[in-house]
Structure 1
């Protein structure tokens, strides 16, 4: 696919081609890592299923569910930003 990069560079300029390449790499990385993060969150959820109901309710009241969701979101965001930086720095 080197011809696609050359076509974008000739049509839109080098800076626009870099931005579009970075966005594409970020989207591909996000699409690849989303199932991995979701499976990790499912494993954590299944491990929490072994806890007794009253302890689990106290943990959920303390915000454990929100904490797990924030951790998954942070991991995906960091991966997408890192992938974008790599794509932008290659040229």
Structure 2
């Protein structure tokens, strides 16, 4: 017996948003697009999905502050992913 794996119609796992207007400034938050994925991701897969979500959001950056926050977040996520791989 063989098992067929069906890919989701949604090509991305995670969506990124900038939010927060307190003393600490804006932050990046993440949301799973499909709830079924939040139970079966490895750390590396989750970090990669977050990087991709930030890169998509970066294309629509509204101001210099938001673009800077997203670039900083991408840098931190890539560093974490590199550390996880080694």
The TM-score normalised by the length of structure 2 is: 0.35
More helix by proportion, 1 or 2? 1
The TM-score normalised by the length of structure 1 is: 0.33
More strand by proportion, 1 or 2? 2
Relative CO higher for 1 or 2, CA cutoff 8 Å, sep ≥ 6?
1
| Structure possessing the higher radius of gyration over alpha carbons | 1
